[in-house]
Amino acid sequence: MTAVQSRNESLITVHNPATGAVAGTVPVDGPETVAAKAAQLVAAQPEWEELGPAGRKRWMLAWQEWILDHADHITDVLISETGKSYVDASLEAVATSDAINYWATHAKEFLADRHPKAHSPVYQVKRFTTAYRPYPLVGVITPWNFPFAMPGLDVPPALAAGAAVLLKPSEVTPLSAVEFVRGWTEIGAPPVLGLATGYGETGQALIEHADFLQFTGSTATGRKVAVACAERLIPYGLELGGKDPAIVLSDADLERAANGIAWGGMFNSGQVCVSVERVYVEAPVYDEFVAKLAARVGGMQQGHDGDTGAMATAAQRDIVSRHVEEATAAGARVLAGGKPTGVGTYFAPTVLADVDPQMSCMAEETFGPTLPVIKVADENEAVRLANDSPYGLSATVWTADKRRGQRLARRLEVGAVNINDALVNVFCPGLPMGGWKQSGIGYRAGGAAGIIKYCRQQAITAPRVPTQKSELLWYPASKRRMGIALAVMRAFSARGRRRFGLRPRNS
């Protein structure tokens, strides 16, 4: 049973994909409703901006407290609409509260005016300022894999910047977003966070009214979003698909590598943009590593109280099935799992050995609980195969040699590399999170850059010294004054004889 049972023009009924039980309903917001909500948010935004970082911090920390106080309820809602296990679902509320604290606490520092130094003595008579003004309305479109945490990554920095935000969650899992916005409303915060629920048409309507658009989802949909934003000439950020590689070197701690890769590949049933989706192991330790990985994955339990939960949709489960079936038909060996369990949308955690790089399980995004493993001759072959992908979101490197790990990290064509770890960068807002190649455009988080992205930068110049009635280059035009200006500019920017308007001796 897919999370959304059927399409209705006015109402979305959400089902638990693990059990088929009805989890709840939300309305389908049409273009007129989206336009009205956008207008209300834009009307409230100037007062929100005027509060400044310190005033906004008070409301954001109150929101954080509401989320922590309602964490158990939020977890229950997450489980009801996604079929996640309790351990997977329980992380989302707390991780979101951590992000809110980070952006609320650091916004004043990150948004402070900058005063660049003059690049030349000619301009030292001027005072330069870079100021940051938020986009009035930020649109955020989030996917179904982390219905509470994904808004938690993108909405808090936009609010901290002083923007109003209209959130459009996936139609597959909209109930958690209802809770996300409900918390903001219940604390009595200014009305600058809104919710628009619906299908693709609702998202399109949001793009029509946003001043900045942040999208997380598939690469195919991301292309359509980019086109729609380009037509309106609005800026956007895209975090898209991934096919993240893990490289296990022969000097690695194989026990830690197997444990870390099992978690990095199976967390949230593999439905993570930065999941480990393909593994390259140096030949001397291939057999030992594969045995350890298969034992770890084969011992995992599924269900509400297990290690992992169900797939969010039947369609996603079927993609996983196809990748495994095509791999085994081409000669791959199943060492653990390999099939749907027959209950809901569960798919057994799977390890595939003797895999070929051309197999769909290695070339296409799976977004499910599979770990295909390839034997490589050395680190150079591992890096070559890891980079041979249209995706470039993140990667992991497993080695006992710190310098070797750092060196390999810089050879990988991805936006993030975790050495002897997995997924950790996602939880660190001081680090940029974004994809190379077809994995995205722009970055979320990354310290000051993560909040400045939601702002328009404004350059302000002002005199440092008492002003005259006219400047050297102002009208009426004068060859003499122009000559003086050019000579001064040459003197401070050129080198050698060119500083004085002379040609080099050998010319």
Beta strands in 11-74 (DSSP E): 11-15, 22-27
Amino acid identity of 7? Answer: R
- At 507 the pLDDT is 57
Q: What pLDDT band is residue 4 in, cutting at 50, 70 and 90?
A: very low
- At 499 the pLDDT is 86
Checking if the pLDDT of 465 tops 70, the result is yes
Distance in angstroms (rounded) separating the CA atoms of residues 503 and 160: 55
- At 502 the pLDDT is 82
The mean predicted confidence, pLDDT, of the chain is 96
Question: For the segment 253-275, what is each residue's pLDDT rounded down to a tens digit?
Answer: 999 999 999 999 999 999 999 99
Q: What pLDDT band is residue 322 in, cutting at 50, 70 and 90?
A: very high
- Active-site residue (options: 92, 239, 277, 364): 239
- Please provide residue 445's backbone torsions phi and psi, each rounded to the nearest 5 degrees: 60, -150
Tokens of 230: 């380009």
Question: For the segment 372-394, what is each residue's pLDDT rounded down to a tens digit?
Answer: 999 999 999 999 999 999 999 99
- Please provide residue 381's backbone torsions phi and psi, each rounded to the nearest 5 degrees: -65, -40
Return the percentage of the chain with pLDDT > 90, whole number. 94
Answer whether 265's CB lies under 8 Å from 396's CB: no
- At 159 the pLDDT is 98
Distance in angstroms (rounded) separating the CA atoms of residues 309 and 18: 8
Answer whether 308's CB lies under 8 Å from 344's CB: no
Answer whether 244's CB lies under 8 Å from 417's CB: no
Q: Record the pTM.
A: 0.95
Residue 418, SS3? strand
- Average pLDDT on 297-313 reads 97
- At 226 the pLDDT is 98
Return the percentage of the chain with pLDDT > 70, whole number. 98
Phi-psi region of 155 (alpha: psi -120 to 50; beta: other; left: phi over 0): alpha
Q: What pLDDT band is residue 472 in, cutting at 50, 70 and 90?
A: confident
> CB neighbours of 1 closer than 8 A, spacing ≥ 6?
15, 16, 17, 19, 20, 314, 344, 345
- Average pLDDT on 112-123 reads 94
- Active-site residue (options: 92, 171, 179, 273): 273
- At 423 the pLDDT is 96
Tokens of 402: 């710190």
Distance in Å from the first CA to the final CA of the chain: 79
- Count other Cβ atoms within 10 Å, centred on residue 407: 13
Checking if the pLDDT of 228 tops 60, the result is yes
For residue 65, indicate whether it is catalytic. no
User: CA 143 → CA 194, 209, 273, 401, 461, distances in Å?
Assistant: 17, 20, 10, 37, 42
Q: Exposed (0-12), middle (13-18) or buried (19+): which is 122, by Cβ within 10 Å?
A: middle
Which of 379, 209, 351, 198 minimizes the C-alpha distance to 284? 379
Cα pseudo-dihedral 241, 243, 247, 253, rounded to 10: 70
Question: Concatenated DSSP letters for 449-501?
Answer: HHHHTTEEEEEEEEESS---SS-TTSSSP-HHHHHHHHHHHHHHH--GGGGGT
Phi-psi region of 207 (alpha: psi -120 to 50; beta: other; left: phi over 0): alpha
Checking if the pLDDT of 357 tops 50, the result is yes
- At 165 the pLDDT is 99
Residue 431, SS3? coil
Domains of the chain: 29-240+447-457 (3.40.605.10), 244-427 (3.40.309.10), 471-506 (no CATH)
Q: How wide is the angle at C-alpha 224 spanned by C-alphas 218 and 230, nearest 5°? A: 130
Q: Residues 83, 443, 114, 129: is their CA dihedral positive or negative?
A: negative
Distance in angstroms (rounded) separating the CA atoms of residues 166 and 181: 10
Question: For the segment 382-426, what is each residue's pLDDT rounded down to a tens digit?
Answer: 999 999 999 999 999 999 999 999 999 999 999 999 999 999 999
For residue 273, indicate whether it is catalytic. yes
Tokens of 61: 């920390």
Q: Residues 290, 292, 297, 298: is their CA dihedral positive or negative?
A: positive
Residue 18, SS3? coil
Q: What pLDDT band is residue 1 in, cutting at 50, 70 and 90?
A: very low
Beta strands in 328-454 (DSSP E): 333-336, 350-353, 370-376, 391-392, 394-398, 416-419, 432-433, 436-437, 440-441, 444-445
